[in-house]
Structure 1
């Protein structure tokens, strides 16, 4: 059972507007929510925090009727309710604004606010009345003055977010859920959104705020609920919860319990030949300008919470996303990589975070998955002979201990750890100079994790550069020669040799 911060009912003189108690939601093989508690008071901004897989999205889907609960109770306005559909949630006064605005860009602003509830007379829509009411709603509640007769697509993402909030207010929302609303906004737009949130809070609206940005949590939130691994960790006053404690509770490591870096991590292999250098590289809305140097035979790790910008940085280096400023130098040839194909030609390889959707091809065999990248570099008109394919697949199946050792087995029938090894085999076959590994050990067993960590150190020892991304501090510290820490889409610290330790990394992640 997690921590409560005391009896807020007495402290605030009001009852919770929303109370979720002992919420359980299981999927086959997964305990998505395991006895989770959550409560929300009128006139507050309450941040829901947790790393990937913590249960935040599942809790929101339960609250909004997308999922039914297995066990537990939900109370709204002091009455127990059963919400079985998003429509029911909306009728009960619960509205959600998602990261990706789910409105109709081809319709006007006014149409989006009133869709399905247009003012009518004799069966016809009263267009002038609808526009007038939309303008008044935006001006008086959100301090936004725009032409509501223009298509929503004409306006920025920030304005679209405010229009989505206006729609929620128009249907008399009591609870407003903002799910990652700032992920695509710049600082000025975030400030505009926060001004609106503060005004709505003063009007008595209860706001559930989901974000990965620590600075924003402390800028706007009154209270914080933390989930981890589908379980309730605790509820805390934001002003009384130090950042370092928030981070430790999210990742499940208290400062005094953190182990120090093993002495065998091999961080002192001497000066290295420069392989890659990024100078002021950035992409608006994804990551702020950063500098990064990676040498041959070096393991550089990216550490930070989910949403800190680790994956965005890696995708820029690999050309999966284009930078809009800065320079990237590979060896002796200056120039920015513009596509994954160009990156592969330059000797880069990238194992993405989501191996299911961006990595393995389910309906192909282990052999076919391993050969994909090499075949792509040759072109599909120069097919690798079948016998050569079998020889290469067998070689890497043995080298990486892929089990079962059957190259014709469908890759979707392998365990997560063995699927990850198939991805590694695919890229090792291209003999890259730099291997980018984004969460290579997520969701796999301890034995497979240890094997992959040993492989990373072995490859570095043979001269390959590795950019390693992981949410697990232990393995980041274990394999790294250098650690680059990111927070809120910025590189905030770089650590090397004696500076490396789990405590130091956690403090840098927490900041403040």
Structure 2
């Protein structure tokens, strides 16, 4: 029996003035699954993330959450559902420590005073649970590596116990060791039952952690592939449109010459 998707999108479209950014897009993400969203520049990846996160609501289409039709018109709607987003710029403060960044804007108070002890305890618990390598939760963010900063941003998104995590190019500026640590974290999140949508241009990272790959091309679906049964060449052809061009070219030839 098929597992019901955590998030399902049917016929989702989005236009910006004369630009059709998304057209009739379909996407499904299940709990405990990593779906990689790939495509060339201007394929519509960022627009789709904005639709899911409530930053830029869809013009039309159906969005379902655990089988129920819902509307995501603002970021608060996504947060209430259990959707968290970690953007590429991270939006954190270098002068604050790890604890301060995790609870920035959602500080815990006791009798009108910041409860530093409780915030530090919860930070240590999360860092330990996710096996994140951070030297000290009271270390300033500016002293951490790029990979550690990404881990802190992801950890912050987990404070609200989300069900679905959207990651926008999380390894783009990381070295090999830092990337491997972050990919380990993504696998740990999947093992905890979270659905993860991973936007990345790095096919090695995608092959390492994704279960399925959804390709967007010029704002439209251009294939959904199982990582274990699809070659990298097939995926790249779908991203670049080479496969479409090959089919179009074949159709211009006499049928007896088709391969």
* TM surpasses 0.5: yes
Match among 110, 124, 143 for residue 113 of structure 2: 124
Between the aligned partners of 2:64 and 2:133, the Cα distance in structure 1 is 34
Between the aligned partners of 1:118 and 1:151, the Cα distance in structure 2 is 17
Report the CA distance between 1:45 and its aligned residue: 0.9
1:221 equivalent to 2:210? Answer yes
Report the CA distance between 1:169 and its aligned residue: 0.9
Give the alignment of 1:103-114 within 5 angstroms.
Answer: 103-114=92-103
Give the alignment of 1:77-92 within 5 angstroms.
Answer: 77-92=66-81
Report the CA distance between 1:99 and its aligned residue: 1.8
1:247 equivalent to 2:215? Answer no
Between the aligned partners of 1:144 and 1:80, the Cα distance in structure 2 is 39
Between the aligned partners of 1:173 and 1:184, the Cα distance in structure 2 is 25
1:18 equivalent to 2:7? Answer yes
Bigger RCO (CA 8 Å, 6+ sep): 2
The number of aligned residues is 249
The residue that corresponds to 2:173 in the other structure is: 184
Between the aligned partners of 1:255 and 1:16, the Cα distance in structure 2 is 29
Give the alignment of 1:374-393 within 5 angstroms.
Answer: none
Report the CA distance between 1:115 and its aligned residue: 2.1
**Structure 2 gap segments, 5+ residues each:** 249-259
Report the CA distance between 1:146 and its aligned residue: 2.9
Match among 155, 168, 175 for residue 166 of structure 1: 155
Query: SS of the counterpart of 1:204?
Result: coil
Query: Does the 8 A contact of 2:183 with 2:205 survive in 1?
Result: no
Alignment CA distance shift 1:171-1:255 (3 Å): closer
The residue that corresponds to 2:30 in the other structure is: 41
Query: SS of the counterpart of 1:200?
Result: helix
Between the aligned partners of 1:63 and 1:39, the Cα distance in structure 2 is 12
Between the aligned partners of 1:255 and 1:90, the Cα distance in structure 2 is 38
The residue that corresponds to 1:29 in the other structure is: 18
Match among 196, 203, 206 for residue 185 of structure 2: 196
Match among 113, 122, 143 for residue 133 of structure 1: 122
Query: Does the 8 A contact of 1:43 with 1:202 survive in 2?
Result: yes
Between the aligned partners of 1:77 and 1:257, the Cα distance in structure 2 is 38
**Structure 1 gap segments, 5+ residues each:** 1-9, 260-512
What is the root-mean-square deviation in Å for CA atoms of aligned residues?
Answer: 1.9
Query: SS of the counterpart of 1:99?
Result: coil
Alignment CA distance shift 1:30-1:244 (3 Å): same
For the pair shown, the structure with the greater C-alpha radius of gyration is 1
Between the aligned partners of 1:94 and 1:174, the Cα distance in structure 2 is 6
Query: SS of the counterpart of 2:62?
Result: strand
Between the aligned partners of 1:138 and 1:15, the Cα distance in structure 2 is 31
The residue that corresponds to 2:201 in the other structure is: 212
Query: SS of the counterpart of 2:142?
Result: helix
Give CA-to-partner distance per residue, 1:97-140, whole Å, 9 cap, x none.
12221112222211111223322211111112211211111111
Alignment CA distance shift 1:203-1:25 (3 Å): same
Between the aligned partners of 1:239 and 1:38, the Cα distance in structure 2 is 19
